Homo-oligomer: A and B are copies of this chain.
Amino acid sequence: MARESEKLWGGRFEREIAPEVEDFTESISFDHKLFRQDIRGSIAHAEMLLKCGLISESDCIAIRETLKEIGAEIEAGTFRFDQKHEDIHMNIEAALIDRIGEPGLKLHTARSRNDQVACDLKLWTRSAIDSVAGLLESCQKALLDRAETFSEVIVPGYTHLQHAQPVLFAHVMLAYIEMLDRDRSRLRDCRKRLNICPLGACALAGSALPVDADFTARKLEFDAALTNSLDAVSDRDFAVEFVFCLCMVAMHISRLAEEWLLWASNEFDFIDLDESFCTGSSIMPQKKNPDVLELIRGKTGRVYGNLTDLLTTLKGLPLAYNRDLQEDKFPLFEAGSEVGKSLAILTQLISKTGIKKDHAASACGRGYMDATALADYLVLKGVPFRESHRAVGAIVRHAASSDKKLSDMAVEDMRKFHPLISDDVFRVLGARNCVDNYRSRGSSAPAEVQRRIDFWNTKLDA
């Protein structure tokens, strides 16, 4: 009889796998990250086998204690991984068998790598979701702190990157808090959908052995056990949805990064980035570069790419498990790691950033940002908005031709464009008046902004 393969799965094989195939198909170089999840999952599985009478109590103890020992060694960096064992699951199982013999040979009863890897990956993702959610909350707190610290500061509000209307700097901070809150909400929903345990699906069809999937699900803190074994081993929705959530985070913080890169430029010069968060140039001695913000913006591409990757991989895959799915780990791990790092550093950077109140104030004097206030002033005097808009447009044109601010114009000059303008007009002109006069829900009115600061203080403390 021909020599059998050394692989744990090698029974039907007469020849060993080619070494270059081993190189190509191994995943231990990246899925070793799953060791905690794999050990936790295997212990729960062993306990279930015990409960169902498929292994003895002593088997279970031997398995559990040895798995913990292996886990501790991996944690300490003393465990020797072997590429021959392909992946983290086989490396751990092989070590277990090597150490305790027969009980170890029983661990994989009523289990396949297909449901095992799905379970490990869900445990990893669930924990990554919790971690990113925490980082988002810290970042919200940092933004809130800036809002409170600089609650009086007015900055230009932009549309089309043109001066539009003055707003409170705090209002800008609050806008980003809103975005990150939607991100947290998305993560919660993703976690809820993920939290179904795939163990018990085995290869794809479930098991003929008397197992208890509900037991394992509870042990691993899932909300429920699988309801369809084919789906359980082929489903990677949770991974794609998590990476999508990360894309949204990356997109949001890329917007903040862009805004602050502008504000840190020599031309805007609204904010003061802490020197310890900047770098210099290898050639230009004067440079103080906002690299952290640029890298945060730049990493957006990576996260988007990870989403493209996963979606592409899953397109058109028939049921149930296909090896293509091994490729899910790279984009999942990378997106989680990159967004986590970006959020952590951004939170610190935000905390250390000051606003240059005077520069912002002087910028607020440019661009006729009080024109809308003037139009609303006329509306309150009964002028239809479109008529008022047109009259103010003409006033702006006139003021611009002589390079004057609206508040520097004489009332008589304004009145040439509309008879209803009178001395009280100066109560609406100028950035401070504009901001103070806002009154609508969600506006940049000081009272509204304060109301939201209070709201977030309560919510983020809870």
Instruction: Tell me the nearest residue of chain B to A437, going by C-beta.
Output: B208
- Tell me the chain A residues, 379-399 only, with Cβ under 8 Å from chain B: 379-380, 384-387, 389-397
* Among candidates B291, B331, B397, B437, residue contacting A11 with C-beta atoms closer than 8 Å: B397
Instruction: Tell me the nearest residue of chain B to A275, going by C-beta.
Output: B15
- Tell me the chain A residues, 301-331 only, with Cβ under 8 Å from chain B: 301-302, 304-327, 330-331
A414 part of interface (Cβ distance < 8 Å): no
Query: Are the CB atoms of B323 and A294 closer together than 8 Å?
Result: yes
Query: Are the CB atoms of B200 and A442 closer together than 8 Å?
Result: yes
Query: Are the CB atoms of B231 and A179 closer together than 8 Å?
Result: yes
A204 to chain B, nearest CB (A): 5
A20 part of interface (Cβ distance < 8 Å): yes
Residues in chain B near residue A158, CB distance under 8 A: 204, 318-320
Query: Are the CB atoms of A396 and B323 closer together than 8 Å?
Result: no
Query: Are the CB atoms of A167 and B11 closer together than 8 Å?
Result: no
Known: A205-B438, A341-B24. A286 touches B367 (CB 8 A): yes
A220 part of interface (Cβ distance < 8 Å): no
A61 part of interface (Cβ distance < 8 Å): no
A344 part of interface (Cβ distance < 8 Å): yes
Distance A182 CA – B277 CA, assembled complex (angstroms)? 37
Query: Are the CB atoms of B12 and A286 closer together than 8 Å?
Result: yes
A65 to chain B, nearest CB (A): 18
Identify the stretch in A31-39, A119-127, A130-138, A252-260 within 8 Å (CB) of chain B at 4 or more residues.
A252-260
Most buried by B among A113, A159, A327, A391: A159
Most buried by B among A16, A315, A341: A315
* Among candidates B54, B156, B230, B366, residue contacting A171 with C-beta atoms closer than 8 Å: B230
Most buried by B among A23, A275, A316, A437: A316
Query: Are the CB atoms of A201 and B11 closer together than 8 Å?
Result: no
Known: A108-B385, A172-B319, A285-B392. A298 touches B280 (CB 8 A): no
**Apart from A97-B386, A112-B283, A211-B440: 13 A-B pairs, beta carbons within 8 A:** A9-B285, A11-B393, A105-B385, A110-B385, A113-B283, A208-B438, A208-B439, A237-B248, A259-B319, A285-B389, A294-B324, A301-B308, A316-B316
